[in-house]
Chains A and B, each alone.
Chain A
Amino acid sequence: MELVIIAAAIMLGLGALGAAVGMGLLGGKLIEGTARQPELGPMLQGKMFLLAGLIDAVPIIGVGIAMYLIFVVAPGVGA
């Protein structure tokens, strides 16, 4: 049963890692683009939010499944 906790940790950690790289690239490019052409800022920001939602989806699903694993599948193991 302890392996379930490890599985949840890997799930959360790798999900966060991937999302962090994606978000970093996205935000960095947004700032670069806005600095070059400030008049495009609002348009780029709207697109960035859309893509942020797309990037966010997979890790947040991972968080949900990890929470389910920790608190329902293997309750009381870590506590």
Chain B
Amino acid sequence: MAGENPASTTDYIQHHLQNLVYGKHPENGWSFAHGETTAETAQQAAEMGFMAVHVDSLAWSIGLGIIFCWLFRFAATRATTGVPSGLLNFIELIVEFIDGSVKDSFHGVNKMVAPLALTIFIWVFLMNLMDLIPVDLIPYLLGQAGVGYQKIVPSTDPNITMGMALGVFILMLYYSIKIKGTGFIKELTMHPFNHWAFIPVNLFMETVGLLAKPFSLGLRLFGNMYAGEMIFILIAMMFAAGAGAGIAAGGLHAQIFGEYTNFWFWLVVFALVCGVCWINLKGKLSTGKTVLICAIIMTLGGGVFAIAGGLMQWGWAVFHILVITLQAFIFMVLTIVYLSMAHEDH
């Protein structure tokens, strides 16, 4: 698949990067964007213009928001003065961690900042966490159910990240005006050069600085998640890369199914390999036999390319755990810092 058929490779990536769009099409009226190919769908979605929403991003992000609220409410209602256990302990750890971060970098008086920071951290983290679900799993299952396009990581949609950044920006402006009053105007016009002749220069520089904050905030999260998702998709293509490269590289399935590997077949092979390794770990099978059996299963089912792909998915996912947590943390810390700057009255 890698070399001989570039058209389908491109279509595979584009299919994964296409949102499920619902909107007002000039010819079809209110409908989902649907075309014979991904390019046609993208074209239809573009023709909808402003009157369109990304249903998948909205559904996943709101759903994850509800899960977050439910989980924390569940823990809060069960909080006792005794020794907490399990989930309660974990939630308490998170809340204390956020509380510490806010105390470190926020010096004003505002009851809203800590809950806001908690919401942003957990919500962004949950949205990023969707990246660790195998890229093909949910889109494939929904595809069988008739939903053609699905992008399950809301933070790979710039609309979501820039929307959150815009929310933070509105809060920044609101508190700047509320706390500083006319001092905010003075800060914008008199800041680097304190002389009336420099007002236009100051205004330009300060406005650029102000607008760059939400822009970089949203774009940083989007870029990181988009790049991560892109690499997951590229590694996923390796599963099919062995097709047509012979039994040793592509496995028997390539000879039977051709280029389009059957999803369920894959799952069975993967489960078999995991099962054999597990029995080995339990000590009921010698290592030599384990390697032999796994080699036979892989040769029949997966092939070298597929196993390498699986290992790379796993490796990138492990590295990505760091990235998703770090990005959620950075989004939260920067929100706190920006709001703290809005609260500093000179």
Contact = CB atoms under 8 A, between A and B. Distances in A.
Interface in B1-34: 2-3, 6-7, 9-10, 13-14
B326 A60 contact: no
A75 interface: yes
Contact of B234 (A52, A60, A67): A67
A3 interface: no
B10 A61 contact: no
B326 A49 contact: yes
Interface in B293-346: 323, 326-327, 329-330, 333
Q: What class of interface size applies to chain B in its complex with A? A: 20 to 34
Contacts of A60: 223-224, 227-228, 323
A10 B277 CA distance: 43
A8 to B, nearest CB: 12
Interface string A5-20: 0000000000000000
A44 to B, nearest CB: 13
B279 interface: no
A58 B14 CA distance: 23
A54 B330 contact: yes
B226 interface: yes
A75 B8 CA distance: 10
Contacts of A57: 220, 223-224
B230 A68 contact: yes
Q: What class of interface size applies to chain A in its complex with B? A: 20 to 34
Give the interface centre of B2, B230, B329 by most chain A CB atoms within 10 Å.
B230
Contacts of B223: 57-58, 60-61, 64
A75 B9 contact: yes
Contacts of B10: 71-72, 75
B230 A64 contact: yes
Contacts of A68: 230
The main secondary structure of chain A at its interface with chain B is helix
B14 A53 contact: no
Nearest to A63: B227
B330 A50 contact: yes
B231 A50 contact: no
A21 B224 CA distance: 20
Contacts of B224: 56-57, 60-61
Given A53-B327, A54-B330, A67-B234, A76 B6 contact: yes
B333 A50 contact: yes
B231 A67 contact: yes
A79 interface: yes
Nearest to A70: B234
A71 B227 contact: no
Interface of A: 49-50, 52-54, 56-58, 60-61, 63-65, 67-68, 71-72, 75-76, 79
Given A49-B326, A64-B227, A72-B14, 13 more contacts: A53-B326, A53-B327, A54-B220, A58-B223, A61-B224, A63-B231, A64-B228, A67-B227, A68-B230, A75-B6, A75-B7, A76-B3, A79-B6
